[in-house]
Structure 1
Amino acid sequence: MKKVDARGRSCPEPVVMTKEALENSQEDLEILVGEEVAKENVSRFVRKSGAEVEESEIEDGYKLIVTR
């Protein structure tokens, strides 16, 4: 599983990082974001791209597991 750590980044950067990871890898993704707005934006983008996302809260933000 490919990991993308976007904690500390403000939108739209987490979405851009997720888009690049989806385009460059066929693996499932683990995406870490630090803010709820980033979680919502990344999740929306992932669903619109045809993948599924599972969200969970972690100590310093959110973890999103993206499956194709």
Structure 2
Amino acid sequence: MATIIDARGLSCPQPVLLTLEAIKAGAEAELIVLVDTDTSRENVCRAAASQGYGVAKVDQDGEGYRLTVRRGVS
């Protein structure tokens, strides 16, 4: 089961910090990160990559994005 991080309504760097916190806490191999700005989407993607995770899928979710982040995806 994926860990869901709802970072909608939060400005950077909060979405990045929440994502990194989940990764460092030993979250599942898959995270679902919900963000509502292009900047947050880009920053979360970069932060995940720096930890050996990658964004497997980006879906439009209303006015925001649903990022599927997985360990080992480049």
TM-score (ref. length: structure 1): 0.92
- Asked whether the 8 Å contact 2:3–2:27 carries over to 1, the reply is no
Query: Identical aligned pairs, as a percentage?
Result: 40
Residue in structure 2 matched with residue 58 of structure 1 by the alignment: 61
Structure 2: distance between partners of 1:23 and 1:49: 9
| Structure with higher helix content | 1
Q: Do residues 13 (structure 1) and 14 (structure 2) align? A: yes
Aligned length: 68
1:32 corresponds in structure 2 to: 34
Taking the aligned partners of 2:38 and 2:59, their CA distance within structure 1 comes to 11
- The one-letter amino acid paired with 2:43 is N
**Unaligned 5+ runs, structure 2:** none
**SS of corresponding position for 2:12:** coil
What TM-score do the two structures reach when normalised by structure 2? 0.85
Runs of 4+ in 1 over 6 A off after TM superposition: none
